[in-house]
Structure 1
Amino acid sequence: MTVTDTNSATQVLDPEEARRLRNEQLERIGSFVLPVAIMVLAIWLWDRICVWNEIPQYILPRPGVVLQTIHSDAALLFSSLLVTLKITFLSLLLAVIGGVGLAVLFAQSKWVEMSFFPFAIVLQVTPIVAIFPLINIYVDNQTAKLLLCSWIVAFFPVLSNTTLGLNSVDRNLRDLFKLNHASRWQELWHLRLPAAMPYFLGGLKIAGGLSLIGAVVAEFVAGASGQSSGLASRIIEAGYRLNAPRLFAALILVSLAGIVIFLVLSLIAHLILRRWHESALKQER
């Protein structure tokens, strides 16, 4: 058998392998085409419902009117979007710093974890709308109020997931570090933190969406007094004035911002984990 025959033989796939590759290709195409097709269909139905039922614009505007409003009110809407995103990213940054730092302390001492973890749970389960009146009394700066509310919402997922990851290290590996007389900080840096990275990134993706939710909810509460200039206040203002196109435009911008935040954080997690963690390796098969 010549070299050419050998190469051609290796290139021939058995039916099962060919079917598997074909199914993977269909899944990759479908994962993009199906969501786009369903979204286009939903927008078309939205438009047709408005036309068929002759719904007034101040009750339910057509998609084209909403897009035109986004263009015509771009200066107002996008400036408000920047305010909301500033609060979102700052609160997410503080949640990462505080959550990871406190999780490291919890991993170093069970007594610290048992003492302070209940306070984190209390912050998580208490509705932010109920906490805001107290924050409004004790905090003077408006930006600090919104930032604190958003941080409270985003803090717990980072803390709980990172703590879980730090405490989920293989006991045999921990024993190996002890046999080699590794210090507590060497064990933390070389073993626990790498092992906790997938858990931390999972919590980060959750916290990214929650920080945006917290920022919008805080703006809603503070916007009632006309002091907030974020997208939530634009939604309240448009609702009072029956300006439904601007209201829908602001809602779409909030949704798109949340989608972009989730996609960016998912990409960061994939880039970090793709070379060594099983959850990312499976996606590249």
Structure 2
Amino acid sequence: MRRKVQRVVYPLMVGLVLLGIWQGLVTGLQLPAYLVPSPTLVMQTLVTDWSALGMALWVTLKITLLAFALATLTGVLISFLFVQSKLIETALFPYAVLLQVTPIVAVAPLIIIWVKDPTLAMVICATLVALFPIISNTTLGLRSIDPDLQSYFKLQRASRLQVLWRLRIPSALPYFFGGLRISSGLSLIGAVVAEFVAGTGGTGAGLAYQILQAGFQLNIARMFAALLLISLTGVALFVLMAWLSRLALGGWHASELSHD
């Protein structure tokens, strides 16, 4: 319990110190709000503009969650395919790497042109950003099995499905959840980048549009408020994935049982 409290209290103390320094510098140097707003002004803006920012947060979160779910499902299925044959993995894995290294900013305009529905186009863009960590981590986990256990399964004449379900998947779970932690944040990044490229406005606009609009209007406090919501969403997604990992692995895996 003490360690759990420390994990919350220590980062919170550092954050409060940084906020205090920020507030002190803005007040002491008398920096104008259109350059650097104070933390108090950012919080006031977050409250007063919550009707627009809250709706934008929901739009961005919806795209993020849809992309994350699609990336997880697609990545797991591709990993299952790779692990069935080393030849298939050797032939197709470079294309997965190609998706990872291709800048989404360069690909997003094409996807938005090809896909008529803006929301679907942004979900596809965010999915491409979040897909590779799921594929790479899950594939690595499915192949990281104990050779002795693999020999035992062969000795018992286990089928491919039995080996996959009873040996490979339990061995891959720590890697899989590690991929989820990375992919959840990348889904959010991909959603925001796709919103920037799409430039959608109106009631269906996300936080990226709020940032663009605030920049055009020199409403820097609102821009900081939108950035704060994006950051808090990313932290919440990471914490949720860490909790799911602890829930799934806490009772048996060494990565969660270790107290070092």
For these two proteins, the number of residue pairs brought into alignment is 259
Q: Which runs of 5+ in 2 are unaligned?
A: none
Match of 2:123 among 112, 136, 147: 147
Match of 1:13 in 2: none
Match of 1:21 in 2: none
Match of 1:242 among 209, 218, 235: 218
Match of 1:50 in 2: 26
**Is 1:117 the counterpart of 2:101 in the alignment?**
no
**Is 1:197 the counterpart of 2:170 in the alignment?**
no
Q: Output the TM-score relative to the length of structure 1.
A: 0.87
Letter in 2 for 1:182: A
Q: Which runs of 5+ in 1 are unaligned?
A: 1-23
Task: Check conservation: 2:72, 2:131, Cα contact below 8 A.
Answer: yes
Q: CA deviation at 1:35?
A: 1.3
Task: Describe the SS at the equivalent of 2:251.
Answer: coil
5 Å-filtered alignment, 1:1-285, equals: 25=2, 29-223=5-199, 226=201, 229-283=205-259
Greater RCO structure (CA 8 Å; 6+ sep): 2
Q: Distance in 1 between matches of 2:7 and 2:149?
A: 39
Give the share of equivalent positions with the same residue, in percent.
47
Q: CA deviation at 1:33?
A: 2.6
Q: Distance in 2 between matches of 1:73 and 1:28?
A: 34
Q: Distance in 2 between matches of 1:226 and 1:118?
A: 37
Q: Distance in 2 between matches of 1:230 and 1:32?
A: 30
Task: Check conservation: 2:26, 2:38, Cα contact below 8 A.
Answer: yes
What root-mean-square deviation, in Å, do the aligned CA atoms of Structure 1 and Structure 2 show?
A: 1.5
User: Which stretch shows the higher mean deviation, 239-248 or 134-143?
Assistant: 134-143
Letter in 2 for 1:109: S
Return the index of the structure with the highest Cα Rg. Answer: 1
Letter in 2 for 1:279: S
Q: CA deviation at 1:170?
A: 1.0
Moved runs in structure 1, 4+ residues, more than 6 A? Answer: none
Q: Distance in 2 between matches of 1:161 and 1:47?
A: 42
CA deviation string 1:110-136 (max 9, x = no partner)? 121112111111000011001112212
Task: Describe the SS at the equivalent of 2:258.
Answer: helix
Q: Distance in 2 between matches of 1:30 and 1:147?
A: 37
